[in-house]
Amino acid sequence: MRKKSVLLIVVVFTFLMASGFNGIVTSIVNAEEAKISGKEIMERVYNRDEGDGRASTLKMVLINKHGSQRVRKIRQFNKSFDNVEKKIMFFLSPQDVRGTSFMNWSYQDGRNDSQWIYLPALRKVKRISAENKSDYFMGSDFTYDDMGDRKLEEDKHQLLRKEEIDGEIFYVVESIPVKEDYIYSKTISWVLKDKWIGLKKEFYDQQGNLLKELKVNEYQEVDGILTIIKSEMENLQNSHRTQIILSDIKYNPGLDANKFTERNMKLGL
């Protein structure tokens, strides 16, 4: 009996030695990966390093099914302050919206966002309702939520599978809204393993049909931070598309709280 035990230990030890140390590590990692949940993946996507604020210029190209194009340009700034993330947008073109600005304060503790709009013709900063996050932004195929306003806890996330595309591994995560009356019945995201960046997303309407598809066409490191440069949202039900191109990107641009005020909305500084 004792001899048998010793023999078993020797066999196991020999097998382990033969399989190599890397194999042991891989097995441990795989075990960890197998445990990772959809929520944890999306947490990592939401909490990816975005620096201490960002300044960028956003170009939106709206393309209808006949190929006719309309272009909108926005200069935007955002930064987190303690419990609140502040964002300010200045509309540069077309001409009839030039000078308009939009400001959003998003609270991490679950309170409703505060939103304001400045209309130069009225010379007035107006508070607007932040309830309608599912409204489309400037006639594009992006809703305010699609533009990044949605919070992690507003959906239940589930890891569906892992997929290999062009040699890269993606986590495929399904997100179902907690509130049933939301514009989408579910979304499915393709998250690049280890980089925690979503490169594809499908949006399903309330009937469960595929409504829109978001594809990231280009991403790169800017100031050491992985950044989506070009993306396209296509509405598959009406063949309308919106391309988003980001330029003049600067992380940690030294923004302070005074950037996100009524004064700046009016002056466009």
Least distance (Å) from another protein to the CB of residue 121? 6
Asked whether the beta carbons of 245 and 267 are under 8 A apart, the reply is no
Of 244, 241, 236, the residue nearest 64 (C-alpha): 241
- Interface ranges with another protein (CB under 8 A): 62, 70-71, 93-96, 98, 105, 107, 111-112, 114, 116, 121-132, 134-136, 138-140, 240, 257-258, 261-263, 267, 269
Of 262, 226, 235, 227, the residue nearest 57 (C-alpha): 227
Nearer to another protein, 71 or 210 (CB): 71
Least distance (Å) from another protein to the CB of residue 114? 6
Nearer to another protein, 105 or 170 (CB): 105
Least distance (Å) from another protein to the CB of residue 211? 15
Of 205, 203, 206, the residue nearest 190 (C-alpha): 203
Nearer to another protein, 32 or 109 (CB): 109
Nearer to another protein, 37 or 93 (CB): 93
* Helical ranges in the chain per DSSP H: 2-19, 21-35, 38-46, 262-267
Rounded to a whole number of angstroms, the CA Rg of the chain reads: 23
Nearer to another protein, 5 or 258 (CB): 258
Task: Report d(CA 26, CA 149) in Å as an integer.
Answer: 37
Least distance (Å) from another protein to the CB of residue 251? 24
Least distance (Å) from another protein to the CB of residue 120? 9
Least distance (Å) from another protein to the CB of residue 129? 5
Residue carrying the six token digits 């419990």: 83
Nearer to another protein, 37 or 69 (CB): 69
Of 238, 197, 237, the residue nearest 215 (C-alpha): 197
Nearer to another protein, 140 or 187 (CB): 140
Pairing of strands 225-235, 197-204: unpaired
Whole-angstrom CA distances from 220 to 97, 121, 156, 195 are 31, 39, 29, 11
Task: Report d(CA 77, CA 264) in Å as an integer.
Answer: 11
Least distance (Å) from another protein to the CB of residue 236? 16
